[in-house]
Each structure stands twice: as structure tokens, then as C-alpha cells.
Chain A
Amino acid sequence: YADRYTPHATSDGAAGLWQPYLNDHGNLQETLWNKETFDYFLGHLGSPAAKEMGLFLISGYNLFTQPVPDPSWKNIVLGFRNLTPKELELFPGYSYGWFNTALMLECRSYLPWLTNRLTQRGVKFFHKKVESFQEMFARGVDVVINCTGMRAGELQPDPELQPGRGQVIKVLAPWVKHFIITHDIKSGIYNSPYVIPGSEFTVLGGIYQHGNWSEENSAQDHKTIWENCCRLLPSLQKAKIVQEWSGLRPARPCVRLERETVRQGQFQAEVIHNSGHGGFGITIHWGCAMAAARLFGSILQEKKLASPPQPR
């Protein structure tokens, strides 16, 4: 059930680069889920489905104005290393950085591919806004898996869930073959320019506004993104702008991945929450999906034990 499907989901605005935040804040479980996701898709690179999934390898740069500790994901990606002085000449103003090879998973292809696979397995899709868990239970649903992202708070208040507003400019710049992500420790994650080339378009970004619920494109943000990215990569001055988009990263101090028994009156049913993936949804999604599936498995187990076997 959803009121928005691809290409109108938050996921569709993401460039699709696998890369966790720099700092895992001691959240080892999330690092494991990130690794699970990377390894799973790395294994699928050679498969005939890769193109249809929008999955491919990409190399690139993370840039800093001062030395920083290595990230939790340095051994997950391929070929992680520090930048050489000559490479830093490519990026005036930055004195330190990393090079590595990671994955791209473009949602404009991935979500339709998933939809096809689900349809083949008999999954039904409803274009409908769900107003409450109870609405589902009243229909006889036993288990609700809550993947409502930014608007999870409408189903159940979650004060820890806040929007991390982002805006991006999609351009045609097929000569750009690397991702370039800059970091400004002071302004925080994604508030510094980034350039991420996709299979057709290149995404320019660098906006993260905590607490801003607006999904309207801002002219000021456009100017910030455009000027900063062109300064970072002068060849972008000749790139053709194709689209502008803003969306809300469903930000939380940590991902909400847990089971909950919800009761109301005579209804009791199980909810599995899988939301609050911030700006790293693509990066972490497979590990989280597997964990949610395991929670679902335990629910099934319990239900089997609870109901006695039917007499033949």
C-alpha cells in the first residue's frame, strides 16, 4: 500500500550512490547492514539483471579541507586509499581526501525492477494512502510492515524522525565519470557540494536542511548548488540543466527497525517498523530488509506455535 510510487517516491530523488555517512556514531549494526547491502549487490554486478536493475560500479573522490579518520566503510568498498598530492591538484581548496570504487543503484530502474519481481511473485499493489494501522487490521491484515519513510510520524508519532531537506539539480554531463563528494565538517553532511554521475544524468547537490518540511525548489539553494559545483568542477559550466528536485530525507538518530505489538480494542496485530534511513537508504536497504524479514519470520514462528495443528 502506498500513495506515492516510483517515480514520485523520495527514493527517486536520490542519485543512487552507495556510501554511508562518514561517522557511524558507534552504530555497528548499521555498519553491518551497509556491508550486507554492498556485498549483495557487488555479487550481482555480473548478472544479466544488473543493467535492468540500474546497478553498476563507479569510482570517485571524497574531499576534505583537513585530515580525517578513515570511515567505518573503508574495507567494504573497493580499493579505498588516500589521495595523492597530484590528485589533490584537481580540487583546489581541498587538502585531503579518499579514492574508492563503490556501487550505484539507480532507483529509476531499481524500483520498477523490484516491482516486476514482486508482481511475478503475486504481490498486490494498492495505490492508497493508509491513515492508520487500525485501518489495516480492520481489513484482516495480520502483519503490517511500516516503510513509510518521512511520513511515518503520521501513522505513529515519532519525535526522533525529522526531515533532512535536500535539493538537487540533474544535468547532462556525460564526460563526468567519477563521483565527487566534498565535506565541510562545520556545515555537516550533504551541506557541501557533490557531483554524482548516473547512467544518463549527473546529479549535483549539497543541501541538507534539518527540520525544513518544504518540498518546493528554492532559488537560493539552486544558486548554492550550481555555483559550488561549478567551482568544484569547472567543466560543469557547460552542462545542460534538465531537472530540479527537492525531497525530504527521513532522518533519525538511528534507523527504526523493530517489532511492535499494536492493540486497539479487540484488535491486536504485529507491526514491523523499517524506517528513518536518512540519506543512506539505498546504502543500507538490503541489510534492513533482511533484518525485517527475519523479524517477520519470528512472527510466523510464533503464530505457528500459538495455533494448534489442524486435525487431519
Chain B
Amino acid sequence: MAAPKVAVVGAGVVGLSTALCIAETCPSCSVTVLSDQFSPNTTSDVAAGMLIPHTYPGTPIHTQKQWFKETFTYLFAINNSAEASEAGISLISGWQVFKNTPKEELPFWSDVVLGFRPMSEAELQKFPQHQFGQAFTTLKCDCPPYLLWLEKRLKATGVQMRTRKVANLWELHSEYNIVVNCAGIGAHQLVGDEKLFPVRGQVLKVHAPWVKNFIRDGDGLTYIYPGIHRVTLGGTRERDSWSLSPDPGTTKDILDRCCSLEPSLRGAEDIKVKVGLRPSRQCVRLQKEVLSQGGVKLPVVHNYGHGAGGFSVHRGTAKEAARLVGECIAALQGSSSRAKL
């Protein structure tokens, strides 16, 4: 077949990075990104973009570690180049503190991040309510810059981007040979995935440029993530809440919790409140499917359900999705040559 036409649905970090991986591995493909939202209005734009993995109960740990490692290595190289600031990538050190010593003292990703070690007694004195902690250095992707940088790279490789609300994947079958579903929380409606559920997160993005280290409570609820221009303060984990409206009581609660970890945040200015719905699932749905109607087939590659861990594994899952797209193309080319016989 001549240039396979691939549609990627979704323009968050997963959609854009998947489109880029497809364009990189299949230069003959014609790739189009379709989304009703682009940066700065995607779920990814709300996230802090910290490379600290979320553990998916339904995915083998070695796979998650592979995804994280690929993502970390990819961003590490950008961080060390002149493009770092345009791409919104920064290196950041800090602490994860626990009120009670966790059962698992070494997370699976401890040897992927840099300099991972337990905190010293002196370091823990800064956190009188916490008994145990881990210090390490990791990477952060600021959005919108990272998404805008991905869009720029996509345009440079000839990938088209179109604002379009896709109601169902089948509607694309006449224009495209393969569809890649990176719709995030949108997949709930788009493909009717009942296993996908929102976990609502409210965050504050504040001006506090003297905060140079991240601080995260091991319970995952309270965190301080300094970005290039703003510090993200969080957060909440409200399962099954679909509300995108900021809640003022929550704002005050987040500020209080963060100030108890870092008192100087009382001086934070220009507080902006944002809400995002983490597209959560027991495991990331990363698999092929063939839709068919009346003898017509449409290969689909799903890559959604990254929940709280999208940034941490985005490149790894994008590469796997691109590989699956390659398999779809091979299958299509195989069947089209059989059709010619």
C-alpha cells in the first residue's frame, strides 16, 4: 500500500509523543493528530509533569520499569542539550517523605532516577511530622512548553494536526487506514471503556521562585513540584469525580498542607487553580484491536489509561504503540498483496 494513513486521536502528552514515534519509525506514513483540545487545554497541561512513576496494579513491573527507563533516557538527553528550555525540561532534586516507614523501601524505579538514597537524620529534621524519607534527582516536563515542543517537532516531520471532535473511531475508517486511540479520559465515551475512570486532581500553580527542590509526601496527596516558571502545589485524588470546576475549600486545604511541608510557601503569589481528570485504569490499555463493519476492517491501536503516571511512561508507551502500528501496517500490506494475487 502507498503511504499508510494513520490518525492519532488525542493531543495530550501520550497522543503527541505517540504520533512522533510513529513518524520516526515509519517515515512513509502520513500521520494526522485529531483532537478536540490542544495545549494549553489538555489534561497534560494541568499535570506537573514529574518523572516519578505511578504503579499500575495490572501491568508487569518489568514492563513499567522499561517504559520509565525509556522515557527517562529520552528526556535526560534533551535536558543535556541546548533545547532543554524550549522543551520545558529541567532536572530537579528533592525529597519524598513518609509519616510512617513504607513496607517497600525501594520502589522499582529507584535505580532509574539519579542518586536515590534514604534521607539523613539531619534532612528529616526539616519534616518533623515525617519519620522516613528518600532523596533523589529526577526530570520534569513543564506544560505547555513540552507539548508545544512536541507539536513543533511533529510539524517538522510533516505530521498534520486538526481540531476535531471524534465521536467514535469507526467514523475515521474511510479517511484513515489505522487509528491510534490516545484519547485519555475521552476514551470512556469514545470507546465505551467502563474500566477507565477519572481520578480528579486539583492543583495550584504559584509564583515561588525561591523553591528549588521538590517535596512529596509518600501518600501521593501532598506535593510541591517547582517548574520553570511556577511551582505546582497539590493535590487531590478524587476517584470517579468528573468535575472540572475548581473548589475553593480544596484550594485552601492544598495550600495548608503544602505550607506545612514548606512554610515559605506562605509567601507564594499569583495563585492559579487548575483541575484535571487523571485517565485511570488498572493497567494502561496498550493493545491492538480490529474494528469491522460489513466486511470493512479498521485496525486500532489503543494507548490510553495512564492515570497519574502519564509523563513518567509516555515515551516508553509511545514507542510500544508505534511498534504495534508497524505490525498493523505489515498485516495490511500482507493482506493487500494477497488481494492482488
CB nearest neighbor in B for A58? B212
Are B119 and A235 in contact (CB-based, < 8 A)? no
A71 at interface (Cβ–Cβ under 8 A)? no
Q: Are A59 and B213 within 8 A (Cβ)?
A: yes
A57 touches B213 (CB 8 A): yes
Task: Provide the residues of chain A in CB contact with B85, threshold 8 Å.
Answer: 173, 175, 235, 238-239
Report the minimal beta-carbon distance from A57 to chain B, rounded to whole angstroms.
6
Residue numbers of B with Cβ under 8 A of A are: 79-86, 88-94, 114-115, 117, 119-120, 122-123, 126, 135, 137, 209-213, 226, 228-229, 263-264, 266-267
B80 touches A175 (CB 8 A): no
Name the CB-closest residue of A to B265.
A51
Q: A33: CB under 8 A from chain B?
A: no
Q: Are B120 and A175 in contact (CB under 8 A)?
A: no
A174 to B210: give the CA distance in the assembly, Å: 10
- Asked whether A46 is an interface residue with its Cβ less than 8 Å from the other chain, the reply is yes
Residue A145 lies at the interface, judged by CB distance under 8 Å to chain B? no
Are A99 and B81 in contact (CB-based, < 8 A)? no
Residues of A in contact, count (CB < 8 Å)? 36
CA distance in complex: A56, B208 (Å): 11
Sample 19 A-B pairs with CB under 8 A, ordered by A number: A45-B263, A46-B126, A48-B266, A48-B267, A56-B210, A79-B120, A79-B123, A87-B137, A173-B85, A175-B84, A175-B88, A175-B89, A177-B93, A177-B212, A234-B84, A235-B79, A235-B83, A235-B84, A237-B82
| Given A57-B212, A79-B120, A101-B213, A175:B90 Cβ within 8 A | yes
Expressed in whole angstroms, the Cα–Cα distance for A200 and B207 within the complex equals 11
A86 at the A/B interface (Cβ < 8 Å)?
yes
- CB pair A56–B114 under 8 Å, yes or no, is no
Q: Does A27 contact B (CB under 8 A)?
A: no
Q: Is the CB of B267 within 8 A of A51?
A: yes
Knowing A176-B90, A177-B93, A238-B85, say if A78 contacts B212 (CB, 8 Å). Answer: no
Asked whether A199 and B213 contact (CB < 8 A) given A50-B264, A175-B84, the answer is: no
Q: Do A197 and B115 have beta carbons less than 8 Å apart?
A: no
Closest A residue to B88 by CB, please name it: A175
Q: Does A90 contact B (CB under 8 A)?
A: yes
Complex CA distance for A239 and B85, rounded to whole angstroms: 9
